[in-house]
Chain A
Amino acid sequence: MSPILEVQNLVKKFGDITAVDGVSFDIQEGEVFSLLGPNGAGKTTTISMLSCLLEPTSGDAVIAGHSVTRDALEVKGVIGVVPQEIALYEELSARENLTFWGQMYGLGGSALKTRVNEVLEQIGLADRAKDKIKTYSGGMKRRVNIGVGLLHKPRLLFMDEPTVGIDPQSRRSILDSVKDLNKAGMTVLYTTHYMEEAEELSHRVGIVDQGKMIAIGTQKELTQMVGENETLRLHTGENVDVQPLMDALKELPNVMHVSASDNMVVLIVPEANDALPPVLGMADRLGYKIRSVDIQEPNLEAVFLKLTGKALRD
């Protein structure tokens, strides 16, 4: 099956600055694909080109068989866009906003009315439909903002950092909405600089930095690509001499590295689940009371750090 989105060597320059430098990737229909990268990595510029807001300096992208450089109108008919900032008319009600935007997507008459009602239900604002947007809370505005992107039942939905600067509850609500949409068959291109979001939502992730796509794959592929092991943390409590324990643990097979810090013994192991029983057994034999154990699996933050030498949120 051909991908719904194929990005082919997209480049965007603003004067001397190259904001997007030869990005290529594709998205299969029905998947959630995240573009993960820090601020200024080129995520928004990439989405802007795919939304036909910006003209690429070179390269192209094909969405549902239409080129963004040659068939912009057709592309806009199949994509939905949820911008990072709330882009609504504050003086109009939710219903009026949805109606207007539906009209801009070519909907009309009773079909539009029906669809507006459906979306209002979907975003849970049917009972506040007549109230002006300016009376809404931030979270409610975000929901309408998303609702606008869904009106015309797009084949591909672009969501550009939709959870930036909002409260945890609203954020949770948005993430759940994305999952629900995907379950219903929506293909989503989601940009974020929050690793947890990418991890939670995505089938595949593309990691971008300084305008370049530096890695693409499932989370497992990405973490394995750079070969990160898991980390075991054994909390031993205060004023405990852990040296004998450390010496003993070093001798265990599959323990690659042992260190101590802040009342903890930290071990690097290939698979935490396999290493845990012998480790705890050794601690018990040596008479150590282990108060708690943390297992940290390899994550995208670590992948990013490995690949770029800097943290995702530097």
Chain B
Amino acid sequence: MSKIIAIARKDIKIRFSGKTELLFFLFLPLIFTLLLSGVLFGGGVNKIVMVVVDEDNSDLSGKLVSLLQSSEAVAPSNLAREKAQETFDNREAAAILIIPSGMESNLKAGQGVSLDFTLDPSNNNGLAVQQEVQKAIGQISRSLAVANASTREAEQIQPFTDATQRQAYYDQSLATGQQMFETAPVRIVITQPEIATETQNQKETQAAQASAGQLIIWVFIPLLGTSELMAYERVWGTLRRLVTTPTRKPTFLLGTITGQLSNGLVQMLMLVAIGVVLLKVPWGQNPLALLLLLISFGLASVAMGTMLGTFTRTPSQANGLSISLGMVMGLMGGCMLPLEMFPPAVANVAKILPTTWAMMGMTQLTVYNAGLLQILPYAAVLLGFSVVFFIVGILRFRYE
């Protein structure tokens, strides 16, 4: 046991001997989490971006834009026509909505108005944006529609004598309609699972996803770097020397794993704390479940790093592969883009990755307030990954 601890301590000391290590351990994960969650400078990447060209600049058009801004699914950018078109052409927006000049006045005069809405056909997000826009225009124009319908019905029974009479009838209908809409019963109720946490709105969910996603990536990559540590020990000759001491191979491996896992756990807990304090992510509702998930994810990552170490020869090879694999597996695991945005086939295939299961488990924790029992399946899969990777790593392990 003392040898295991000695090896773990040695590895931790070596890792933190460089001044730049804190950069990767804490500062970069912090910056990435804050930026991607939208806490810093707003924005964030999960809402679908669309551009709006408001050439009417009226109360009504302002209300329309405001409704779109409060949407959970879209992030509208109000731009001038040329810039908006350029943005859309550059594929920086899924759709472009043009509000023509005179919209409010024409509508109030009882005329129909058409809003040009252009979709990117290769991007299904355009359809989602269309629904949001449809809802918003329905909301702002419904009173006008009622007044219009009322006036039309009246005209069918008895035509108006003049425009003034017509307008007066229209205005009265509009006022009545607005009043009735204000007192109309609410016909929809939005609910969530009882066990869901307080992350009910888009911003909070995005923060939770950013916190979890970045935690996984920034911990996964250095734990894959267990391979680099092993390569360094081979290059330095210290691994060879270790064999000449009365230290068994399992002791060495356990010591290395303990050191790496400890590092990883400390880092994860720090990032969890940052998520709780700065992003208000409800990480802490079930500490035992959280701990179980973090430990099982840490083990899976170290195990994969150990296995990777048996395939790489030099420290720089191991370093390059750790970063590459870590980033790709992070991406495919839903750590950068939410899993719900993946094509169904890809989302299924992604389940062969430990990062996917870690992300799903963390989503359960932060969104569903999952307890120990609910987290067990995810932890079990991650532990399963650990077992497989460790077996391969241990069987292939060579001191030289």
Chain A positions within 8 Å of B, measured between CB atoms, are 51-53, 73-74, 76-77, 79, 81, 83, 85-92, 96, 100-101, 103-106, 108, 132, 148
- Interface majority SS on B: helix, strand, loop or mixed? helix
Q: Which one, B61-69, B234-242, B256-264, is touching chain A?
A: B234-242
**Shortest Cβ distance from A108 into B: residue:** B2
Mask, B1-42, CB within 8 Å of A = 1, is 011001000100110011000000000000000000000000
Contact in complex: A87, B3 (CB < 8 Å): no
Contact in complex: A91, B236 (CB < 8 Å): no
**Shortest Cβ distance from B13 into A: residue:** A92
The answer, among A90, A96, A105, A148, for a CB contact under 8 Å with B236, is A90
How distant is the Cα of A132 from the Cα of B14 in the complex, in angstroms?
Answer: 11
Taking the complex as formed, is B353 at the interface, i.e. its CB lies under 8 A from any CB of chain A?
no
Interface centre among B10, B18, B237, B242 (most CB of A within 10 A): B10
Contact in complex: A53, B243 (CB < 8 Å): yes
Across-interface contacts of A92 in B (CB, < 8 A): 10, 13-14, 17
Determine how close the nearest CB of chain A comes to the CB of B29; give it in whole angstroms. Answer: 23
How distant is the Cα of A4 from the Cα of B374 in the complex, in angstroms?
Answer: 62
Contact size class for B?
A: 20 to 34
Determine how close the nearest CB of chain B comes to the CB of A63; give it in whole angstroms. Answer: 12
Contact in complex: B243, A52 (CB < 8 Å): yes
Across-interface contacts of A76 in B (CB, < 8 A): 244-247
**Shortest Cβ distance from B255 into A: residue:** A104
Contact in complex: B240, A105 (CB < 8 Å): no
**Shortest Cβ distance from A106 into B: residue:** B246
Interface centre among A73, A86, A91 (most CB of B within 10 A): A91
Contact in complex: B245, A87 (CB < 8 Å): no
**Shortest Cβ distance from A87 into B: residue:** B237
Q: If A73-B248, A76-B245, A92-B13 touch, does A104 touch B3 (CB 8 Å cutoff)? A: yes
How distant is the Cα of A193 from the Cα of B237 in the complex, in angstroms?
Answer: 21
Across-interface contacts of A77 in B (CB, < 8 A): 246
**Shortest Cβ distance from B9 into A: residue:** A100
Across-interface contacts of B10 in A (CB, < 8 A): 89, 92, 96, 100
**Shortest Cβ distance from B232 into A: residue:** A89
Contact in complex: B3, A53 (CB < 8 Å): no
Chain B positions within 8 Å of A, measured between CB atoms, are 2-3, 6, 10, 13-14, 17-18, 236-238, 240-248, 399
Across-interface contacts of B17 in A (CB, < 8 A): 91-92, 132
Across-interface contacts of A132 in B (CB, < 8 A): 17
Contact in complex: A91, B245 (CB < 8 Å): no
Determine how close the nearest CB of chain A comes to the CB of B95; give it in whole angstroms. Answer: 54
How distant is the Cα of A83 from the Cα of B14 in the complex, in angstroms?
Answer: 22
Contact in complex: A103, B3 (CB < 8 Å): yes
Determine how close the nearest CB of chain B comes to the CB of A53; give it in whole angstroms. Answer: 5
Contact in complex: B13, A105 (CB < 8 Å): no
Determine how close the nearest CB of chain A comes to the CB of B239; give it in whole angstroms. Answer: 9
How distant is the Cα of A103 from the Cα of B9 in the complex, in angstroms?
Answer: 12
**Shortest Cβ distance from A103 into B: residue:** B6
Across-interface contacts of A106 in B (CB, < 8 A): 3, 246
Contact in complex: A87, B246 (CB < 8 Å): no
**Shortest Cβ distance from B11 into A: residue:** A89
Across-interface contacts of A88 in B (CB, < 8 A): 236, 238
How distant is the Cα of A175 from the Cα of B242 in the complex, in angstroms?
Answer: 25
Interface centre among A76, A83, A87, A92 (most CB of B within 10 A): A87
Interface centre among B241, B243, B248, B399 (most CB of A within 10 A): B241
How distant is the Cα of A309 from the Cα of B377 in the complex, in angstroms?
Answer: 72
How distant is the Cα of A106 from the Cα of B251 in the complex, in angstroms?
Answer: 12
The answer, among A51, A86, A91, A103, for a CB contact under 8 Å with B244, is A51
Q: If A52-B244, A79-B244, A92-B17 touch, does A104 touch B236 (CB 8 Å cutoff)? A: no
Determine how close the nearest CB of chain B comes to the CB of A15; give it in whole angstroms. Answer: 16
Contact in complex: B14, A104 (CB < 8 Å): no
Q: If A77-B246, A88-B236, A92-B14 touch, does A100 touch B6 (CB 8 Å cutoff)? A: yes
18 A-B residue pairs with Cβ-Cβ distance under 8 Å, sorted by A, are A53-B243, A76-B244, A79-B244, A81-B241, A81-B244, A83-B237, A83-B241, A86-B237, A89-B14, A90-B236, A92-B17, A96-B10, A103-B2, A104-B6, A104-B242, A104-B247, A106-B3, A132-B17
Across-interface contacts of A79 in B (CB, < 8 A): 244
